[in-house]
Amino acid sequence: MEYAENILGTIGNTPLVKINKLTEEVDALVLAKYETFNPGNSAKDRMAVKMIEDAEAAGLLKPGGTIIEGTSGNTGMGLALAAIVKGYKMVCVMSDKQSKEKMDILKAVGSEVIVCPTDVAPDDPNSYYSTSKRLSEETPNSWYVNQYDNLSNTKAHYESTGPEIWKQTDGRITHFVVGVGTGGTISGVGKYLKEQNPDIKVWGIDTYGSVFKKYHETGIFDEKEIYPYVTEGIGEDILPKNVNFDVIDGFMKVTDKDAAVYTQRLAKEEGMFLGNSAGAAIKGLLQLKEQFKKDDVVVVLFHDHGSRYVGKMFNDEWMRKMGYIE
C-alpha cells in the first residue's frame, strides 16, 4: 500500500507545467514549478518543516512549546500544519495588508492570529517583526522562527526544490525566475543549480517599494526606495540573511497593477489559479524575454494558491477600486 505517515510526508515533488498562451512571444520553453501542490498550497511548506526539524535538533523547540512567527500567510500555514502533527501551539503575527483569506485559513488550522499595521518601520514596536520577537520573549517555552534570517529556509530549497528542478529538466534548465521575499527560495535553488552548471542565470522578481534591485546593483540600501505596496509575498524593506546576492544575476521590478492583472490572466488563460506573486513572476519573466534564446529552458516558480486572494486580485470590484481594470 502507498501512503504517507502524515500530511508532512506529501511535501515536495511538485510538478513542472508548461506555460502556453501567456508566453507565446517568448522564444524559449517556459515551465512553471507548481508549488501549490504542497499540502499547505505553497512553497513555504518545505522550509517550514525544515526550520522546525532543525530547531528541534538544536534544542530550541521543546515538547509542548509555542511556535511564534511573523508571516505574510504562507509560512504560517506550513508551520501550522507541522505544529498540528508535532503537537505545538502556533501564533502567527501578520501585517494588515495581507488578505482576509490568509488570516481565516490560519485560524481554520488552529493558529492564533495577531494583526499589526503595515505602514510602520521594521524596528517600530508595532511592526510585525518587532511584535513577533517581543511575543517570543514574553511567552514561556516558545520559539521565534525568524524565517528572514533563519538559514534553514535556504537549506530546505537547496536540499529539495533545486534538485527536483534539475532532475525534472534533465539538467537542461538555463534560467530560473522567482519572486523574492525572504530570499530562501532563490538562494537555495540558485546555489544548487549553479553548482550543477555555473552558466544557469538566476533572476529575482522584485516590486516597486522594495530595496532588493537597487541594493543588488549598487550595494546601497536606499531608504527612499521603500514605500507601501500592494503586491503580497515579494519585496522587502529589510535585507534578510537568506538573500544570497552572490547567486542572483539580476532583479526585475513589476508594478502592483501588472502583478494583479497577470494573476487574473494566469487563471483565465492558463487555468492556473495562483497567488499574487505568480502574477508578478510571469510578468517579470515577460519583461526579461530578450534574455532568452530558442533552445533555452526557463523555469519560473509559482509560490502559492489563488484561494488566498479571492477577495482581492480575483475580485473585480476590488480591482476596479484599485484602478487595475476598467
**How far apart (Å, rounded) are the C-alpha atoms in residues 52 and 30?**
33
**How far apart (Å, rounded) are the C-alpha atoms in residues 213 and 253?**
7
- Which residues belong to the active site? 44
**How far apart (Å, rounded) are the C-alpha atoms in residues 189 and 274?**
21
Q: Which residue has the cell 534538485?
A: 163
Beta 29-34 vs 16-18: how paired, if at all? Answer: antiparallel
H or E segment and range at residue 184: helix 184-196
- The separation between CA 193 and the C-alpha centre of its own chain, rounded to angstroms, equals 18
- Report which of 262, 319, 315, 276 is spatially closest to residue 19, judged by C-alpha positions: 262
Q: Residue 116 contacts by C-beta under 8 Å, 6 or more apart in sequence?
A: 93, 94, 95, 96, 126, 127, 128, 131
Number of H helices, E strands in the chain: 11, 10
